[in-house]
């Protein structure tokens, strides 16, 4: 005999449609990301569209205009220096795109320190644990001439959520 507690829960048609739309968007982003992964080593133009913001990680990208402005500031007078980009992947993508237009002898070394391993598609990626901000590869300590840092706003829930 089936009781009221044993009945299966059903989503409404509206909720099912919203879920299907969400899944389709997620799949489209994954497809774009897979394409990006295949081209990461090529000299290609990149866009943050392939990297959906993850609200659970408090990720919110800069607009293209802002990322490009910050990239221009970092490149201004940089010469052959080295630039560390900490928790600002949208600025990193803008920098990477701008470096394509510079002669090799004017390109600074750029390193992306980021906790989101989706950005490991780029050879400049270095995993960065914001819970241990001083834990860096030995060869990086004291090696950066310029740094931009915009760590995510993280409350305790974000930091402990698995």
Question: Which range (46-50, 52-56, 67-71) has the least confidence?
Answer: 52-56
Domain contains 21: no
Domain contains 71: yes
Q: What is the total count of domains within the chain?
A: 1
Domain contains 34: no
Please give the residue range of the domain that contains residue 156. Answer: 60-160
Report pTM.
0.70
Reported confidence tier of residue 58, pLDDT bands at 50, 70, 90: low
Q: What's the angle, vertex CA 28, arms to CA 26 and CA 29, rounded to 5?
A: 65
Domain contains 84: yes
Predicted local confidence at residue 60, as pLDDT: 74
Predicted local confidence at residue 56, as pLDDT: 66
Domain contains 28: no
Reported confidence tier of residue 98, pLDDT bands at 50, 70, 90: very high
CA distance 102 to 43: 12
Domain contains 49: no
- Collapse the DSSP code of 109 into the 3-class scheme (helix H, G, I; strand E, B; otherwise coil) and give the result: strand
Domain contains 51: no
Domain contains 90: yes
Among candidate residues 91, 95, 94, 145, the one with its CA nearest the CA of residue 114: 91
Name the region of 58 (left: φ>0; alpha: ψ -120 to 50; beta: rest): left
Q: What are the contacts of 57-62 at 24+ separation with CB within 8 A?
A: 57/115, 57/116, 57/152, 57/158, 58/152, 58/153, 58/154, 58/158, 59/116, 59/152, 60/152, 61/89, 61/90, 62/88, 62/90, 62/91
Residue 110 pairs in a beta bridge with 83
pLDDT at 154 over 70: no
């Amino acid at each position: 005999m089936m009781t009221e507690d044993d009945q299966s829960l059903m989503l409404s048609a509206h909720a099912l449609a919203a879920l299907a739309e969400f899944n389709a968007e997620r799949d489209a982003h994954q497809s774009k990301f897979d394409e990006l992964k295949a081209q990461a080593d090529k000299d290609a133009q990149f866009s943050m569209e392939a990297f959906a913001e993850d609200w659970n990680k408090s990720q919110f990208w800069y607009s293209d205009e802002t990322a490009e402005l910050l990239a221009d500031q970092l490149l201004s007078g940089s010469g052959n220096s080295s630039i560390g980009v900490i928790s600002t992947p949208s600025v990193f993508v803008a920098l990477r795109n701008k470096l394509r237009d510079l002669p090799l002898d004017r390109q600074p070394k750029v390193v992306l320190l980021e906790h989101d391993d989706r950005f490991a598609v780029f050879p400049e990626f270095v995993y960065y644990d914001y819970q241990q901000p001083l834990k860096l590869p030995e060869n990086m300590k004291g090696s950066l001439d310029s740094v931009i840092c915009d760590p995510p706003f993280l409350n305790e829930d974000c930091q402990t959520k698995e």
